[in-house]
């Protein structure tokens, strides 16, 4: 019957249909979130495990002696997978870069506009039936057009966000990136690379995170760095919750050290701190970055391409290990 493949969550229907047609696939019909034990059993009993961001695969379960040879992650970020262990044990891991760039950048812009123009707060007020009608001083936000956007991590999504902000809203772009980035596209909109993260944080009106999560960037935006941000600035995160010290961010929002935040990702999904939910100057979304029909289908198809290549003895196009 070919390789045994397990899909840890429900995937878009057209992708599940092809997986079931082409592989000996076990689907997760009730879409429950698998426990650590179930994930360990899946690695032990199946040839390929197709995961999502909610499936933690630490080195304790990604060890020698398991049956799985292939992990196809539905998503570009893979900080939930112990990549070094996978590499050490010869397990191929793939992800889905490219296809979610536009939608994630769109969502970063959505969050920026929502927080600056108090869209979430306004909608809550209206739905609660307490809006008294138009008046010149009601719910005044801040203009984003012409301001400075600071991008942390100038990869595909960072660039797509910069492009939208510059060409859509006339924003000046500054960015911070681990390595030097200098090319014709960035020069065409005069995006300026900051030497230090501190410099970016102290200069931007809006800071948007686009770097990977995991060990390398854990706590990158810590209490000291948040204190560098300008009091009128907004903080946007569509990357990963672990990049930020969430407690320090909440303190800064409560104390008015920064003006607001738009968050799509959290330190501990989906347990959102009550203090965060109580804040009016924050827009909170349930990890919707890639959540469009077009993108989610494309992500699934990309996993299918990688899986197919692997079992046909070809190089998977999006191999991480
Ligand atoms: C995905 C994401 O929807 O691709 C990523 O890294 O954060 C999301 O947009 C999620 O990871 C699904 O696994």
Q: Which residue has the tokens 């065409």?
A: 188
261 DSSP β-pair partners: 235, 282
Indicate whether residue 105 lines ligand 1 (CB < 6 A).
no
Q: State whether residue 195 is helix, strand or coil.
A: coil
Please tell me the distance from the alpha carbon of residue 215 to that of residue 231, in angstroms, as a whole number: 29
Give the per-residue pLDDT at 47.
98
Nearest CA to ligand 1 atom 11: 75
Q: Whose CA is nearest to atom 12 of ligand 1?
A: 75
Ligand 1 atom closest to the CA of 74, numbered from 1: 13
Provide the 3-class DSSP secondary structure of residue 92: strand
Catalytic residues, by residue number, are: 240, 269, 287
Reported pTM: 0.97
Report the pLDDT value the prediction gives residue 99, as an integer from 0 to 100: 98
Q: Distance, CA 7 to ligand 1 centroid (Å)?
A: 15
**Ligand 1 atom, smallest distance to 289 CA:** 9
- Check residue 49 and give its pLDDT: 98
Nearest in space to 106 (alpha carbons), one of 282, 242, 291 = 291
pLDDT in the model for residue 112:
99
Which segments of the chain are extended strands (E)?
A: 4-7, 24-26, 48-51, 70-73, 92-94, 148-152, 172-176, 192-193, 206-209, 234-237, 260-263, 282-284
**Is the C-alpha dihedral spanning 187, 174, 266, 91 positive or negative?**
positive
Mean pLDDT per block of 10 residues along the chain (321 residues) reads: 94 98 98 97 98 97 95 98 97 98 99 98 98 98 98 98 98 98 95 98 98 96 98 98 98 98 97 98 98 98 98 98 97
289 lines ligand 1 (CB under 6 A): yes
Distance (angstroms) between ligand 1 centre and the Cα of 158 equals 15
Q: What angle do CA 188, 192, 196 make, to 5 degrees?
A: 160
Q: Which residues pair with 235 in a beta bridge?
A: 207, 261
3-state secondary structure of 196: coil
How far is residue 147's CA from residue 114's CA, in Å, rounded to a whole number?
A: 15
Give, for ligand 1, the residue of 12, 53, 101, 296 to mutate: max count of ligand atoms closer than 8 Å to Cβ. Answer: 53
Give Cα 288 to chain centroid, integer Å.
Answer: 9
Name the β-bridge partners of 152.
176, 209
Residue 130 is predicted with a pLDDT of: 98
- Specify the pLDDT at position 64: 87
- From the CA of 69, how far away is ligand 1's center (Å)? 22
């Amino acid at each position: 019957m070919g390789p045994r493949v397990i899909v840890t969550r429900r995937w878009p229907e057209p992708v599940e249909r092809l997986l079931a047609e082409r592989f000996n696939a076990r689907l997760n019909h009730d879409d429950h979130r698998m426990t650590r034990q179930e994930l360990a059993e899946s690695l032990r009993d199946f040839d390929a495990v197709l995961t999502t961001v909610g499936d933690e695969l630490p080195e304790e379960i990604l060890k020698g002696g398991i049956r799985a040879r292939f992990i196809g992650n539905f998503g570009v970020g893979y900080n939930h997978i112990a990549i070094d262990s996978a590499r050490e044990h010869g397990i191929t891991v793939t992800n889905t870069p490219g296809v979610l760039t536009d939608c994630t950048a769109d969502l970063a812009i959505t969050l920026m506009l929502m927080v600056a123009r108090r869209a979430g707060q306004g909608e809550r007020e209206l739905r609660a039936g307490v809006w008294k009608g138009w008046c010149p001083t009601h719910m005044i936000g801040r203009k984003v057009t012409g301001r400075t956007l600071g991008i942390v991590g100038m990869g595909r999504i960072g660039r797509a966000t910069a492009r939208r902000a510059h060409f859509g809203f006339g924003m000046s772009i500054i960015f911070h990136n681990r390595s030097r980035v200098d090319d014709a596209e960035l020069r065409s909109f005069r995006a300026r690379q900051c030497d230090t993260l501190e410099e970016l944080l102290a200069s931007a009106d809006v800071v948007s995170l686009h770097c990977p999560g995991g060990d390398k960037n854990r706590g990158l935006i810590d209490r000291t760095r948040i204190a560098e941000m300008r009091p009128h600035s907004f903080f946007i995160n569509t990357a990963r919750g672990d990049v930020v010290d969430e407690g320090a961010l909440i303190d800064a929002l409560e104390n008015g050290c920064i003006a607001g935040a738009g968050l799509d990702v959290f330190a501990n999904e989906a347990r959102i701190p009550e203090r965060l939910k109580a804040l009016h100057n924050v827009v909170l979304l349930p990890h919707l970055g890639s959540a469009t029909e077009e993108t989610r289908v494309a992500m699934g198809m990309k996993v299918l391409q990688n899986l197919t290549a692997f079992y046909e003895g070809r190089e998977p196009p999006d191999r991480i290990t």
